[in-house]
């Protein structure tokens, strides 16, 4: 039986990891819920962002925040471009999965070709710094990532709820032709949203580079976890994505502490199965 | 004419099969035998993927999970339990099919997002199965050697056995795909692909068919995996659950054409040969990216695959007499119903359908608040009410598309409130859709034949002949081999009617069949509806057009705000003060 100290620590770790899951789930949830496009390539983009942050930092000596600005801007454009392709070919929800799955494979293969399948670690001065609260370690970077995730999720939620643009987006998701009849520029808004989703992946990527060890195949370990988060948090709901992320993060961390780290991949899957068996109304 | 073409194709296929079967007995170099095995392997994988994903449109990213389950079942049983190798293959198939069916059972019950969730579940399950296998003694992370497993030797070598097994499973998967494609089940799966809700309401047992398809699909992948384990003779988690195992069957099927039973085999052969010089080392990663790029291009530019283009090309090239134009089957007139000569019975008020205190809520909205309504044998019941009054909800509850919250629905003395929609359809309740919802990738004839087959329980041939009859009846015979998107609104409305009639329902619910039609077309439709009633079908007629309701109905039921406010002859209901206030406002009511 693990000590309470270990359990408490794993709760903190899970909470912070959950923030990162929530950050990854945010863009996915928005594009699935509001654009009806299921973007499996989202994880690949995030990992690409992480590799770029690491590469700019180690090879070019660019600080992560500057790298982050470049990446977020570039990814926004990528998101807009991707959406242009989807609109141009009138891609359906199911076809969007196939296409973005293939995109993920392409990005993985490029990462592997350039930087090989070896693990990469971005060593920074503050990478291993922690605050000590009582008997618990709170890694600074993870906490910052968590706070950023919470701020973005809350901000996006408020944006969707209280601004004209946000309401228009939700109206489009409900019924695009009717929304268009009321004069909402669906095309323009969907480009904006798609760009934003990719930009969120960029933000997540920067933190992944700083916190985690990088390997190209990591794309696939996230797919199951983050999709479970998106479903749990309800499609298109930014706060739900964050909450779902925290739930899964904590469940995983506790499992790792109590059972064994290698069983962590089963956690999100089991939660998802349980949820689907229960069939809540929002699914 | 038609026979000779088929005979020629059959002879050619048999000759090719015979050559392939005896090939290992010849002095052909082992290298080619191994290469052919790989082609068979991918044919079986791609074809099995298509049985569910191509036909029914539920895209699986989990073929690696089913395949891997098979690989490790055979490997474990053969090495750790000492089973004879051939005996492990049925176990491999069974376990993989169980996994597939389990996922299907969980996801296919959902009303929304089932396609997307199925795809995502299949991705996750791949990694979960991989994690379980590598964390437990099944593999333990070090891989399993099958070198010492005894194998029967066909044609004097183990390679011959592997080749023969590969060929057998490729042939088996093609046989299954062909059989499904040609059967009622195939028609049902294609309908599910186009519009699952409508398929269910037309009588297709969608849940059962999807489970059947995934069981076949994953079972074949499992058996193929079993053979593959002995082919590689050293299995590892990393290679078994590789992303390419997920991707290749998808690429091959879609490239070949995933709506035809032979498409995936064609795609598998072409892609496998193209991958012949597949590089290893760092370039292998790039090559994988190249395949993925190919997948994107195929999905965007060639969504139907090469098979349809190939068939068009063959039609254009082959002499006319070899490829006959499709001919409408000889119409088969359905026998009239006994003791149900409509109008004669209308006076007698025998209830055929009874709704008792039916309640239905959506979220916070009460769509039906305790509606009680009898529908009498042989009558035309007009159902009217303002928009949002619950007319469509009532129809959807009666057909079983929505589950009712409270109350009961009795049809012919038996409760039907809890039955799934396809059972209700089969009992003899059919509907048409206000906005026509034909299956867009089935021909007009097949659209109607599907309703005859599933709604009326007809065999394949009979259903098509019956469909020909109803197309003649509704004046659509000329359009039998067109696809619904080519029809105009008027024709699509009549296609809805033909589909409803082909099920030979006891009760036919017509949801605003007249909206959008011009005056001549309306008169035409009214004549048709009267005629349908005289043939013994009870009709519930939902309509906004009062002229038609008054002219046609024996009784009129008025819904408002989810409650029944009036029921009686057209003249009575039109005088009812509450009805007048609902339709014309309070001031006119007094």
CA B264 to chain centre: 18
The pTM score is 0.87
Those residues whose C-beta lies under 8 Å from the C-beta of residue B319, and which sit 6 or more positions away, are none
Q: Does A220 touch chain B (CB under 8 A)?
A: yes
| Cα B27–chain centre separation | 46
- Model confidence at B336, in pLDDT bands (50, 70, 90)? low
Q: Which helix (H) or strand (E) holds B378?
A: none
Q: pLDDT digit string (tens) for B315-333?
A: 777 665 555 566 777 777 7
More confident residue, A98 or B324: A98
The answer, yes or no, to whether residue A282 has pLDDT greater than 70, is no
Contact assignment for B299 to A99 by CB distance below 8 Å: yes
Question: Considering CB atoms only, which of A99, A268, A277 is closest to B296?
Answer: A99
User: Which of B121, B132, B301 is the best mutation test for A, with the most CBs of A within 10 A?
Assistant: B121
Q: What is the CA radius of gyration of chain A?
A: 19
What pLDDT is stored for residue B322 in this prediction? 55
At residue B343 the predicted structure's pLDDT band, cuts being 50, 70 and 90, is very low
- Cα R_g (chain B), whole angstroms: 29
A283/B286 Cβ within 8 A: no
Higher-confidence residue of A12 and A261: namely A12
pLDDT for the residue numbered A258: 83
- Among the partner-chain residues B117, B120, B131, the one whose CB lies closest to the CB of A265 is B131
3-state SS string over chain A?
Answer: CCCHHHHHHHHHHHHHHHHHHHHHHHHHHHHHHHHCCCCCHHHHHHHHHHHHHHHHHHHCCCCHHHHHHHHHHHHHHHHHHHHHHHHHCCCCHHHHHHHHHHHHHHHHHHHHHHHCCCCECCCCCCCCCEEEECCEEEEHHHHHHHHHHHHHHHHHHHHHHHCHHHHHHHHHHHCHHHHHHCCCCHHHHHHHHHHHHHHHHHHHHHHHHHHCCECCCHHHHHHHHHHHHHHHHCCCCHHHHHHHHHHHHHHHHHHHHHCCHHHHHHHHHHHHHHHHHHCCCCC
- With CB atoms and an 8 Å threshold, state whether B106 touches A276: yes
Q: pLDDT tens, A186-206?
A: 777 889 889 999 999 999 999
Contacts of A94 in chain B (CB under 8 A): 57, 59, 115-116, 119
DSSP strands (E only) in B212-336: 234-235
B294-321 average pLDDT score: 78
Q: Which of B459, B524, B529 is nearest to B497 (CA)?
A: B529
- Report pLDDT for A283: 57
- Greater confidence (B504 vs B323) lies with B504
**Which tens digit of pLDDT belongs to each residue from B143-157?**
888 888 888 887 778
Decide which of B456 and B223 is more confident: B223
pLDDT of residue B142: 82
Q: Alpha-carbon distance A111 to A217, whole Å? A: 9
For B389-433, write each residue's pLDDT tens digit: 888 899 999 999 998 888 999 998 889 988 999 999 999 999 998
Task: Report pLDDT for B342.
Answer: 46
Read off the pLDDT of each residue in B241-263 and give the average, rounded to a whole number. 88
Return the higher-pLDDT residue of B277 and A44: A44
CA–CA distances in Å: residue B37 to residues A92, B14, B40, B166, B345? 36, 19, 5, 6, 68
Interface test with A, best of B99, B239, B289, B440 (most A CBs within 10 A): B289
* Token couple for B430: 């059919």
What's the gap in Å between the CA of B36 and the closest CA on chain A?
Answer: 27
What pLDDT score does B44 carry? Answer: 96
C-alpha span between A256 and A10 (Å, rounded): 8
Residue contact B120–A223, C-beta within 8 A: yes
Q: What is the ipTM of this complex?
A: 0.83
Q: To 5 degrees, how large is the angle CA B208–CA B214–CA B215?
A: 85
Closest among B295, B245, B313 to B49, alpha carbons compared: B245
Q: Classify strands B351-362 and B406-411 as parallel, antiparallel or unpaired.
A: antiparallel
Distance from CA of B542 to the nearest CA of A (A): 24
pLDDT of B589 over the 50 cut: no
Kindly state the percentage of chain B with pLDDT values over 90: 37
Compute the residue count for chain A.
Answer: 283
**How much is the pLDDT for B221?**
96
Residues B21-76: pLDDT tens digits? 888 878 788 888 888 999 999 999 999 999 999 999 998 888 999 999 999 999 99
> 3-state class of B111 per DSSP?
coil
Beta bridge partners of B542: B383, B511
pLDDT at A224: 79
- Give me the half-sphere count of Cα atoms (radius 13 Å) on the Cβ side of residue B139: 24
pLDDT of residue B590: 45
What CA–CA distance (Å, rounded) separates B560 from B369? Answer: 10
| pLDDT at position B572 over 90 | no
- Cα(B507)–Cα(A175) distance, rounded to whole angstroms? 33
Average pLDDT over residues B105-119: 85
Q: How far does A47 lie from chain B, in Å, by closest CA?
A: 16
**Chain A residues near residue B127 by CB distance under 8 angstroms:** 220-221, 223-224, 265
Contact B300 A91 (CB under 8 A): yes
Which chain A residue lies closest to B298 (C-alpha atoms)?
A: A99
* Residue A114 touches chain B, beta carbons under 8 Å: no
Q: Quote the CA–CA distance of B76 and B146 in Å, as a whole number.
A: 9
Whether B127 sits inside 8 A of A221 (CB atoms) is yes
> B363 pLDDT exceeds 80?
no
Average pLDDT over residues A146-174: 86
pLDDT score at B4: 62
pLDDT surpasses 50 at A211: yes
pLDDT confidence band for B92 (50 / 70 / 90): very high
């Amino acid at each position: 039986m693990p000590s309470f100290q270990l359990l408490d620590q794993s709760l903190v770790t899970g909470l912070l990891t959950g923030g990162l899951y929530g950050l990854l789930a945010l863009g996915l949830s928005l594009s699935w819920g509001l654009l009806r496009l299921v973007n499996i390539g989202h994880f690949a983009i995030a990992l690409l962002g992480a590799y770029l942050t690491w590469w700019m930092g180690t090879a070019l000596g660019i600080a992560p925040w500057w790298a982050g600005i470049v990446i977020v801007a570039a990814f926004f454009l990528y998101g807009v471009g991707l959406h242009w392709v989807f609109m141009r070919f009138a891609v359906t929800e199911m076809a969007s999965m196939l296409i973005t799955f293939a995109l993920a494979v392409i990005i993985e293969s490029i990462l592997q070709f350039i930087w090989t399948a070896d693990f990469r670690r971005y060593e920074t001065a503050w990478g291993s710094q922690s605050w000590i609260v009582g008997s618990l370690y709170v890694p600074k970077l993870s906490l910052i990532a968590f706070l950023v995730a919470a701020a973005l999720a809350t901000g996006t939620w408020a944006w969707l709820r209280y601004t004209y643009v946000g309401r228009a987006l939700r109206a489009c998701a409900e019924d695009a032709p009717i929304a268009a009849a009321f004069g909402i520029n669906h095309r323009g808004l969907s480009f904006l949203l798609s760009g934003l989703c990719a930009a969120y992946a960029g933000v997540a990527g920067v933190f992944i580079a700083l916190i985690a060890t990088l390997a190209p195949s990591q794309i696939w370990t996230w797919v199951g976890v983050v999709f479970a988060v998106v479903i749990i948090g309800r499609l298109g709901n930014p706060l739900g994505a964050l909450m779902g992320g925290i739930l899964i993060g904590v469940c995983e961390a506790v499992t790792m502490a109590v059972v064994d780290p290698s069983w962590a991949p089963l956690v999100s899957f089991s939660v998802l199965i349980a949820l689907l068996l229960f069939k809540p109304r929002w699914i | 004419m038609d026979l000779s073409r088929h005979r020629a194709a059959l002879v050619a296929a048999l000759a090719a099969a015979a050559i392939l079967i005896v090939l290992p007995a010849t002095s052909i170099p082992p290298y080619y035998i191994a290469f052919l095995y790989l082609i068979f392997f991918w044919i079986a994988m791609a074809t099995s993927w298509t049985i569910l994903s191509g036909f029914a449109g539920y895209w699986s990213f989990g073929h690696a999970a089913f395949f891997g389950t098979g690989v490790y079942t055979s490997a474990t049983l053969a090495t750790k339990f000492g089973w004879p190798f051939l005996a492990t293959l049925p176990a491999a198939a069974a376990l993989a099919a169980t996994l597939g069916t389990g996922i299907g059972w969980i996801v296919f019950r959902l009303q929304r997002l089932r396609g997307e969730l199925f795809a995502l579940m299949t991705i996750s399950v791949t990694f979960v199965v991989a994690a379980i296998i590598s964390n437990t003694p099944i593999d333990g992370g070090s891989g399993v050697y099958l070198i010492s497993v005894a194998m029967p030797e066909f044609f004097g070598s183990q390679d011959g056995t592997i080749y023969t097994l590969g060929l057998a499973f490729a042939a088996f998967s093609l046989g299954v795909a062909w059989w499904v494609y040609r059967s009622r089940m195939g028609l049902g799966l294609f309908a599910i692909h186009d519009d699952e809700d409508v398929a269910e309401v037309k009588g297709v047992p969608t849940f059962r068919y999807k489970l059947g398809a995934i069981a076949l699909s994953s079972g074949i992948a499992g058996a193929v995996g079993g053979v593959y384990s002995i082919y590689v003779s050293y299995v590892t988690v990393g290679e078994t659950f590789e992303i390419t195992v997920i991707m290749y069957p998808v690429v091959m099927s879609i490239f070949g054409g995933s709506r035809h039973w032979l498409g995936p085999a064609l795609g598998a052969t072409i892609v496998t040969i193209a991958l012949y010089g597949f590089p290893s080392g760092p370039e292998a990663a790039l090559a994988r990216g190249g395949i993925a790029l190919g997948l994107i291009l195929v999905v965007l530019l060639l969504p139907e695959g090469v098979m349809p283009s190939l068939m068009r090309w063959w039609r254009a090239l082959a002499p006319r007499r070899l490829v006959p134009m499709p001919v409408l089957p000889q119409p088969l007139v359905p026998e009239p119903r006994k003791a149900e000569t409509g109008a004669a019975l209308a006076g007698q008020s025998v209830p055929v359908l009874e709704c008792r205190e039916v309640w239905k809520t959506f979220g916070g909205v009460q769509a039906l608040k305790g509606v009680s309504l009898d529908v009498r044998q042989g009558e035309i019941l007009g159902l009217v009410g303002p928009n949002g009054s619950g007319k469509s909800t009532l129809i959807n509850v009666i057909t079983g598309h929505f589950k009712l919250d409270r109350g009961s629905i009795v049809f012919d003395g038996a409760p039907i409130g809890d039955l799934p929609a396809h059972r209700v359809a089969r009992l003899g309740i059919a509907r048409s859709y206000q906005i026509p919802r034909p299956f867009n990738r089935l021909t007009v004839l097949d659209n109607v034949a599907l309703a005859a087959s599933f709604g009326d329980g007809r065999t394949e041939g009979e259903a098509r002949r019956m469909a020909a009859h109803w197309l003649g009846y509704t004046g659509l015979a000329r359009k039998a081999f067109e696809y619904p998107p080519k029809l105009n609104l008027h024709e699509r409305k009549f296609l809805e009617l033909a589909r409803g009639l082909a099920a030979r329902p006891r009760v036919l619910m017509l949801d605003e069949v007249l909206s959008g039609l011009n005056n001549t077309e309306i008169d035409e439709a009214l004549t048709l509806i009267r005629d349908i009633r005289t043939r013994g079908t009870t009709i519930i007629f939902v309509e906004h057009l009062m002229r038609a309701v008054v002219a046609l109905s024996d009784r009129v039921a008025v819904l408002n705000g989810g409650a029944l406010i009036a029921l009686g002859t057209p003249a009575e209901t039109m005088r009812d003060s509450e009805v007048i206030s609902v339709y014309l406002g309070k001031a006119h009511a007094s």
